Amino acid sequence: MKTVKDYIRTIVDFPHEGILFRDVTTLFADPRGFRMAVDQMLHPYAGQRIDVVVGLEARGFILGGAIAHQLGTGFVPIRKKGKLPGTTISQDYKLEYGEAIVEIHDDAIRAGQTVLVVDDLLATGGTAEAGIRLVERLGGVIAGCAFIIDLPDLGGRKRLEAMGMEVHALCAFEGL
């Protein structure tokens, strides 16, 4: 029987030499694989009160929308700076080579709402941490963070757990 990990392909030297890129588009393209991933990502939260699913740009939108649909909740995107049309709040974070900024609409989360943060891959945890900070600034309460892939060698899980976050990942790949 196939696992979620079996649907993910690895592309060598993308986007830079020495990187093993974990490509989830092959998982998304397969109806059984995609359903399996969505079901397994939401399973730890079934029966819990989740008011909003937040998806991190960009593959988190695909997963977050599907998970929100299954949970019967709303979906909120966290996007790169300048991509949302309304009034936003922003959070900067560090990348391997530089910095980036993500934003959320300032009225997307109400104080006290329970939020599930979703993305495809957890590497260093910088994007997820920035998303968590945005949700918390709006008064949201994080129920957990769900990912398809964890890259444990990059320390993202430890980073989020040090913030008190519950982290679920469907599979892990060693190395970069």
For residue 87, what is the enclosing H or E element?
A: none
Q: Known catalytic residue: 59?
A: yes
In contact, 136 and 111? CB cutoff 8 Å: no
Which of 59, 79, 129, 157 is the catalytic position? 59
Which of 35, 49, 96, 166 is the catalytic position? 96
Q: Which of 54, 71, 62, 56 is nearest to 115 (CA)?
A: 54
Q: Known catalytic residue: 79?
A: no
In contact, 148 and 66? CB cutoff 8 Å: no
* Cα-to-chain-centroid distance, residue 77: 10
Q: Which of 56, 39, 50, 96 is nearest to 74 (CA)?
A: 50
3-state helix, strand, coil in the chain (%, to 5): 35, 35, 30
Structure tokens at 53: 């699913």
For residue 115, what is the enclosing H or E element?
A: strand 114-122
Active site residues: 59, 96
